[in-house]
Protein backbone atom coordinates (compact mmCIF):
# COMPACT_ATOMS: atom_id res chain seq x y z
CA UNK A 1 0.00 0.00 0.00
CA UNK A 2 1.45 3.42 -0.92
CA UNK A 3 2.26 5.92 1.81
CA UNK A 4 -0.54 8.43 2.31
CA UNK A 5 0.04 12.11 1.67
CA UNK A 6 -0.63 12.82 5.37
CA UNK A 7 1.91 10.23 6.57
CA UNK A 8 4.48 11.45 4.04
CA UNK A 9 4.03 15.08 5.15
CA UNK A 10 4.14 14.14 8.85
CA UNK A 11 7.36 12.18 8.34
CA UNK A 12 9.17 14.94 6.45
CA UNK A 13 8.09 17.61 8.94
CA UNK A 14 10.60 15.96 11.30
CA UNK A 15 13.47 16.84 8.99
CA UNK A 16 14.82 20.38 9.46
CA UNK A 17 15.31 22.30 6.23
CA UNK A 18 17.02 25.56 5.45
CA UNK A 19 14.75 28.36 4.29
CA UNK A 20 15.54 30.40 1.19
CA UNK A 21 13.95 33.19 -0.78
CA UNK A 22 13.83 32.58 -4.53
CA UNK A 23 13.47 35.78 -6.57
CA UNK A 24 13.02 36.36 -10.29
CA UNK A 25 13.02 39.66 -12.10
CA UNK A 26 10.95 39.72 -15.25
CA UNK A 27 10.07 42.62 -17.55
CA UNK A 28 7.16 43.68 -15.37
CA UNK A 29 8.00 43.05 -11.73
CA UNK A 30 9.94 41.09 -9.13
CA UNK A 31 8.51 37.73 -8.08
CA UNK A 32 9.53 36.00 -4.86
CA UNK A 33 8.72 32.74 -3.09
CA UNK A 34 9.86 31.00 0.08
CA UNK A 35 11.45 27.62 -0.65
CA UNK A 36 12.69 24.90 1.70
CA UNK A 37 13.74 22.29 -0.81
CA UNK A 38 17.16 23.54 -1.93
CA UNK A 39 20.04 21.12 -2.28
CA UNK A 40 23.56 21.13 -3.61
CA UNK A 41 23.83 18.91 -6.70
CA UNK A 42 27.32 19.41 -8.14
CA UNK A 43 30.49 21.39 -7.47
CA UNK A 44 31.72 21.14 -11.06
CA UNK A 45 29.73 22.69 -12.60
CA UNK A 46 28.21 24.45 -9.57
CA UNK A 47 24.58 23.27 -9.53
CA UNK A 48 21.77 23.45 -7.00
CA UNK A 49 18.25 22.06 -7.24
CA UNK A 50 15.12 23.78 -5.98
CA UNK A 51 11.69 22.14 -5.68
CA UNK A 52 8.79 24.30 -6.87
CA UNK A 53 5.08 23.60 -7.23
CA UNK A 54 4.55 22.55 -10.85
CA UNK A 55 1.46 24.69 -11.27
CA UNK A 56 2.75 27.72 -9.36
CA UNK A 57 3.61 31.13 -10.75
CA UNK A 58 7.26 31.08 -9.52
CA UNK A 59 8.03 28.01 -11.67
CA UNK A 60 6.25 29.58 -14.65
CA UNK A 61 8.11 32.89 -14.45
CA UNK A 62 11.45 31.17 -13.78
CA UNK A 63 11.01 29.06 -16.90
CA UNK A 64 10.15 32.15 -18.95
CA UNK A 65 12.97 34.36 -17.64
CA UNK A 66 15.67 31.70 -17.20
CA UNK A 67 17.50 33.35 -14.27
CA UNK A 68 16.91 33.83 -10.56
CA UNK A 69 18.56 34.40 -7.21
CA UNK A 70 18.38 32.40 -3.99
CA UNK A 71 19.00 34.01 -0.61
CA UNK A 72 19.38 31.62 2.33
CA UNK A 73 17.53 33.39 5.13
CA UNK A 74 19.28 34.10 8.41
CA UNK A 75 18.00 33.42 11.90
CA UNK A 76 15.57 36.19 12.78
CA UNK A 77 14.16 36.50 9.23
CA UNK A 78 11.09 34.31 9.79
CA UNK A 79 8.76 37.24 9.05
CA UNK A 80 10.25 37.45 5.55
CA UNK A 81 9.75 33.72 5.02
CA UNK A 82 6.11 34.10 6.05
CA UNK A 83 5.55 37.09 3.78
CA UNK A 84 6.81 35.22 0.73
CA UNK A 85 4.86 32.04 1.45
CA UNK A 86 1.46 33.75 1.62
CA UNK A 87 -0.99 33.32 -1.25
CA UNK A 88 -1.79 36.39 -3.32
CA UNK A 89 1.32 38.23 -2.23
CA UNK A 90 2.26 41.54 -3.88
CA UNK A 91 5.51 42.39 -5.65
CA UNK A 92 8.69 41.27 -3.92
CA UNK A 93 9.83 44.89 -3.63
CA UNK A 94 6.69 45.79 -1.66
CA UNK A 95 7.29 42.91 0.76
CA UNK A 96 10.85 44.12 1.38
CA UNK A 97 10.16 47.69 2.46
CA UNK A 98 12.79 48.66 5.07
CA UNK A 99 14.79 45.46 4.35
CA UNK A 100 18.23 46.08 2.79
CA UNK A 101 18.59 44.37 -0.58
CA UNK A 102 20.48 44.69 -3.82
CA UNK A 103 20.46 43.18 -7.32
CA UNK A 104 22.43 40.06 -8.26
CA UNK A 105 24.98 40.81 -10.99
CA UNK A 106 23.85 38.23 -13.60
CA UNK A 107 20.12 37.67 -13.02
CA UNK A 108 19.34 41.20 -11.75
CA UNK A 109 17.10 39.46 -9.19
CA UNK A 110 16.75 40.68 -5.61
CA UNK A 111 19.18 39.35 -2.99
CA UNK A 112 18.90 40.19 0.68
CA UNK A 113 21.99 41.87 2.08
CA UNK A 114 21.34 40.29 5.51
CA UNK A 115 20.92 36.71 4.31
CA UNK A 116 23.40 33.96 5.14
CA UNK A 117 24.36 33.56 1.49
CA UNK A 118 22.92 34.50 -1.90
CA UNK A 119 23.36 32.62 -5.14
CA UNK A 120 22.92 34.24 -8.55
CA UNK A 121 21.63 31.51 -10.86
CA UNK A 122 20.81 30.54 -14.43
CA UNK A 123 18.17 27.89 -15.10
CA UNK A 124 19.72 24.75 -16.59
CA UNK A 125 16.39 22.91 -16.89
CA UNK A 126 13.15 22.01 -15.15
CA UNK A 127 12.63 18.35 -14.31
CA UNK A 128 9.06 17.11 -13.66
CA UNK A 129 8.74 15.48 -10.23
CA UNK A 130 5.17 14.56 -9.27
CA UNK A 131 3.21 17.67 -8.32
CA UNK A 132 6.47 19.69 -8.33
CA UNK A 133 9.33 20.47 -10.67
CA UNK A 134 12.99 20.46 -9.78
CA UNK A 135 14.71 23.55 -11.09
CA UNK A 136 18.35 22.70 -11.80
CA UNK A 137 20.23 25.97 -11.42
CA UNK A 138 23.79 26.82 -12.46
CA UNK A 139 25.35 29.15 -9.87
CA UNK A 140 26.89 32.11 -11.72
CA UNK A 141 27.96 34.20 -8.69
CA UNK A 142 27.81 34.39 -4.89
CA UNK A 143 26.94 38.06 -4.26
CA UNK A 144 26.32 37.68 -0.49
CA UNK A 145 28.30 35.48 1.90
CA UNK A 146 28.18 35.94 5.67
CA UNK A 147 30.30 33.01 6.77
CA UNK A 148 29.25 31.77 10.19
CA UNK A 149 25.79 33.38 10.23
CA UNK A 150 23.06 31.21 11.72
CA UNK A 151 20.40 30.13 9.18
CA UNK A 152 16.64 30.07 9.57
CA UNK A 153 15.19 26.54 9.55
CA UNK A 154 11.76 25.04 9.01
CA UNK A 155 10.96 22.19 11.39
CA UNK A 156 7.60 20.59 12.21
CA UNK A 157 5.75 23.26 10.24
CA UNK A 158 7.38 26.22 12.00
CA UNK A 159 10.27 28.58 11.32
CA UNK A 160 12.96 28.22 13.96
CA UNK A 161 16.33 29.87 14.44
CA UNK A 162 19.21 27.43 14.12
CA UNK A 163 21.42 27.10 17.19
CA UNK A 164 24.76 28.91 17.08
List, for residues 100-123, the tens digit of each pLDDT value: 999 999 999 999 999 999 999 999
- Model pLDDT for residues 54-77, shown as the tens digit of each residue: 998 899 999 999 999 999 999 999
Q: What is the pTM of this model?
A: 0.93
* Residue 139 and residue 46 in contact, taking contact as beta carbons nearer than 8 Å: yes
CA atoms of 87 and 83, how far apart (whole Å): 9
Domains of the chain plus CATH, in order, are 16-152 (2.30.110.10)
CA atoms of 19 and 51, how far apart (whole Å): 12
Amino acid sequence: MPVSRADFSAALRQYPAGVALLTVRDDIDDVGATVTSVTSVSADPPLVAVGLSADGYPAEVLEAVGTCALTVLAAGQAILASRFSSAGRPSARHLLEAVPWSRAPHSDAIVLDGGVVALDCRLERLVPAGDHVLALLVVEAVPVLHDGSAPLLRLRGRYVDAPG
